Amino acid sequence: MTQSGVQTQEREKAIHLTPKPSAVVDNDESPPHRFLVVDSRVPSPIRQVLDEADGCMNLTFTTGGTACARRAMRVVMATESVLTDDYSASLLSLREKHAGIAPTLFTVLDLLGTGDEPLEADALTALIATVKAIVYEIYVVGSERLEALEYLSELIGSLERDRIPVSPQKTAAPKAEGSARARRAE
Protein backbone atom coordinates (compact mmCIF):
# COMPACT_ATOMS: atom_id res chain seq x y z
CA MET A 1 0.00 0.00 0.00
CA THR A 2 1.28 3.46 -0.83
CA GLN A 3 1.95 6.12 1.73
CA SER A 4 -1.03 8.19 0.54
CA GLY A 5 -3.26 5.12 0.96
CA VAL A 6 -2.13 4.72 4.58
CA GLN A 7 -2.74 8.42 5.24
CA THR A 8 -6.23 8.13 3.76
CA GLN A 9 -7.06 5.17 6.02
CA GLU A 10 -5.74 7.06 9.06
CA ARG A 11 -7.88 10.06 8.16
CA GLU A 12 -10.94 7.84 7.80
CA LYS A 13 -10.26 6.29 11.22
CA ALA A 14 -9.84 9.75 12.72
CA ILE A 15 -13.13 10.82 11.21
CA HIS A 16 -14.91 7.80 12.69
CA LEU A 17 -13.31 8.37 16.10
CA THR A 18 -14.52 11.95 16.28
CA PRO A 19 -17.82 11.93 18.15
CA LYS A 20 -20.82 13.21 16.27
CA PRO A 21 -22.40 16.39 17.62
CA SER A 22 -25.18 15.63 20.04
CA ALA A 23 -28.54 17.34 20.15
CA VAL A 24 -28.56 16.80 23.92
CA VAL A 25 -27.06 19.65 25.90
CA ASP A 26 -24.69 18.58 28.66
CA ASN A 27 -25.63 20.89 31.53
CA ASP A 28 -22.31 20.33 33.30
CA GLU A 29 -20.36 21.66 30.32
CA SER A 30 -22.57 24.55 29.22
CA PRO A 31 -21.91 28.02 30.59
CA PRO A 32 -24.42 29.25 33.15
CA HIS A 33 -27.15 31.63 32.12
CA ARG A 34 -25.98 35.20 32.44
CA PHE A 35 -28.35 35.99 35.30
CA LEU A 36 -27.02 33.10 37.41
CA VAL A 37 -23.65 34.82 37.76
CA VAL A 38 -24.25 37.71 40.14
CA ASP A 39 -23.02 40.90 38.47
CA SER A 40 -20.81 43.45 40.22
CA ARG A 41 -23.57 46.07 39.78
CA VAL A 42 -25.66 44.19 42.34
CA PRO A 43 -25.23 45.80 45.78
CA SER A 44 -22.58 44.05 47.88
CA PRO A 45 -24.88 42.90 50.73
CA ILE A 46 -27.12 41.09 48.22
CA ARG A 47 -24.13 39.53 46.43
CA GLN A 48 -22.71 38.27 49.72
CA VAL A 49 -25.94 36.59 50.84
CA LEU A 50 -26.45 35.01 47.42
CA ASP A 51 -22.87 33.75 47.52
CA GLU A 52 -23.59 32.17 50.91
CA ALA A 53 -26.76 30.57 49.50
CA ASP A 54 -24.77 29.13 46.57
CA GLY A 55 -22.07 27.84 48.92
CA CYS A 56 -24.61 26.10 51.13
CA MET A 57 -26.36 24.64 48.10
CA ASN A 58 -23.08 23.32 46.67
CA LEU A 59 -22.37 21.57 49.98
CA THR A 60 -26.00 20.33 50.14
CA PHE A 61 -26.68 22.34 53.30
CA THR A 62 -30.30 22.93 52.38
CA THR A 63 -31.20 24.50 55.73
CA GLY A 64 -28.49 27.16 55.41
CA GLY A 65 -29.10 27.59 51.69
CA THR A 66 -32.82 28.12 52.23
CA ALA A 67 -32.21 30.65 55.00
CA CYS A 68 -29.66 32.54 52.90
CA ALA A 69 -31.86 32.63 49.78
CA ARG A 70 -34.80 33.92 51.82
CA ARG A 71 -32.56 36.45 53.55
CA ALA A 72 -31.24 37.60 50.16
CA MET A 73 -34.77 38.41 49.06
CA ARG A 74 -35.39 40.37 52.25
CA VAL A 75 -32.16 42.32 51.67
CA VAL A 76 -33.37 43.10 48.13
CA MET A 77 -36.69 44.35 49.50
CA ALA A 78 -34.93 46.46 52.14
CA THR A 79 -32.58 47.90 49.52
CA GLU A 80 -35.57 48.75 47.34
CA SER A 81 -37.41 50.28 50.35
CA VAL A 82 -40.40 47.95 50.14
CA LEU A 83 -39.74 45.64 53.11
CA THR A 84 -42.58 45.32 55.62
CA ASP A 85 -43.57 42.70 58.19
CA ASP A 86 -45.83 41.09 55.57
CA TYR A 87 -43.64 39.21 53.06
CA SER A 88 -46.39 38.89 50.43
CA ALA A 89 -47.20 42.61 50.66
CA SER A 90 -43.50 43.42 50.30
CA LEU A 91 -43.33 41.22 47.19
CA LEU A 92 -46.38 42.98 45.77
CA SER A 93 -44.76 46.38 46.38
CA LEU A 94 -41.55 45.20 44.70
CA ARG A 95 -43.57 43.86 41.77
CA GLU A 96 -45.36 47.20 41.40
CA LYS A 97 -42.10 49.11 41.64
CA HIS A 98 -40.48 46.95 38.94
CA ALA A 99 -43.43 46.25 36.65
CA GLY A 100 -41.17 45.02 33.82
CA ILE A 101 -40.21 41.87 35.74
CA ALA A 102 -42.19 38.73 34.87
CA PRO A 103 -44.99 38.16 37.42
CA THR A 104 -44.16 34.44 37.46
CA LEU A 105 -40.91 35.18 39.29
CA PHE A 106 -42.82 36.85 42.10
CA THR A 107 -45.25 33.92 42.26
CA VAL A 108 -42.32 31.52 42.72
CA LEU A 109 -40.91 33.74 45.47
CA ASP A 110 -44.28 33.84 47.21
CA LEU A 111 -44.44 30.03 47.14
CA LEU A 112 -40.84 29.16 48.04
CA GLY A 113 -39.66 32.27 49.86
CA THR A 114 -41.95 32.02 52.86
CA GLY A 115 -41.85 29.80 55.91
CA ASP A 116 -39.15 28.50 58.19
CA GLU A 117 -38.78 24.97 56.87
CA PRO A 118 -35.77 24.12 54.68
CA LEU A 119 -36.52 23.39 51.04
CA GLU A 120 -35.62 20.24 49.16
CA ALA A 121 -32.55 20.62 46.92
CA ASP A 122 -34.51 21.09 43.68
CA ALA A 123 -36.84 23.67 45.24
CA LEU A 124 -33.84 25.47 46.76
CA THR A 125 -32.16 25.58 43.35
CA ALA A 126 -35.35 27.10 41.92
CA LEU A 127 -35.54 29.67 44.73
CA ILE A 128 -31.90 30.75 44.35
CA ALA A 129 -32.26 31.00 40.55
CA THR A 130 -35.46 33.03 40.92
CA VAL A 131 -33.87 35.45 43.39
CA LYS A 132 -30.91 35.83 41.02
CA ALA A 133 -33.25 36.45 38.08
CA ILE A 134 -35.04 39.23 39.95
CA VAL A 135 -31.75 40.74 41.12
CA TYR A 136 -30.49 40.61 37.53
CA GLU A 137 -33.61 42.35 36.25
CA ILE A 138 -33.45 45.11 38.87
CA TYR A 139 -29.74 45.86 39.04
CA VAL A 140 -28.31 44.76 35.68
CA VAL A 141 -31.03 45.06 33.04
CA GLY A 142 -32.36 48.25 34.63
CA SER A 143 -28.85 49.71 34.74
CA GLU A 144 -28.19 48.74 31.12
CA ARG A 145 -31.46 50.39 30.04
CA LEU A 146 -30.49 53.61 31.81
CA GLU A 147 -27.02 53.55 30.26
CA ALA A 148 -28.51 53.05 26.80
CA LEU A 149 -31.00 55.87 27.28
CA GLU A 150 -28.30 58.22 28.59
CA TYR A 151 -26.13 57.42 25.58
CA LEU A 152 -29.00 57.99 23.15
CA SER A 153 -29.93 61.23 24.92
CA GLU A 154 -26.36 62.53 24.59
CA LEU A 155 -26.24 61.41 20.96
CA ILE A 156 -29.50 63.13 20.09
CA GLY A 157 -28.54 66.20 22.11
CA SER A 158 -25.35 66.57 20.11
CA LEU A 159 -27.21 66.71 16.80
CA GLU A 160 -27.36 70.10 15.17
CA ARG A 161 -31.07 70.67 14.63
CA ASP A 162 -30.63 72.99 11.67
CA ARG A 163 -28.62 70.33 9.78
CA ILE A 164 -31.23 67.58 10.12
CA PRO A 165 -33.48 67.27 7.07
CA VAL A 166 -37.13 67.17 8.12
CA SER A 167 -39.87 66.00 5.80
CA PRO A 168 -42.65 68.54 5.09
CA GLN A 169 -45.19 66.19 6.68
CA LYS A 170 -43.32 66.37 10.01
CA THR A 171 -43.38 70.18 10.07
CA ALA A 172 -47.16 70.51 9.57
CA ALA A 173 -49.15 71.16 12.71
CA PRO A 174 -50.77 68.02 14.07
CA LYS A 175 -54.55 67.84 13.97
CA ALA A 176 -56.35 68.09 17.26
CA GLU A 177 -57.52 64.77 18.60
CA GLY A 178 -61.20 64.15 18.27
CA SER A 179 -61.64 66.76 15.54
CA ALA A 180 -62.98 64.14 13.14
CA ARG A 181 -65.49 63.05 15.78
CA ALA A 182 -66.49 66.65 16.38
CA ARG A 183 -67.13 67.19 12.64
CA ARG A 184 -69.23 64.02 12.44
CA ALA A 185 -71.30 65.11 15.42
CA GLU A 186 -72.21 68.45 13.74
Q: What is the mean pLDDT of each run of 10 residues along the chain (186 residues)?
A: 57 47 49 69 90 90 94 95 95 94 94 92 93 91 82 83 67 53 47
pLDDT score, position 49:
92
The sign of the dihedral angle between the CA atoms of 151, 143, 136, 48 is positive
The answer, as to whether pTM is greater than 0.85, is no
pLDDT score, position 170:
60
pLDDT score, position 150:
86
Contact 125, 33 (CB under 8 A): no
The string of DSSP letters for 100-136 reads TS-HHHHHHHHHHSSSSSPPPHHHHHHHHHHHHHHHH
How much helix, strand and coil, in percent to the nearest 5, is found in the chain? 65, 0, 35
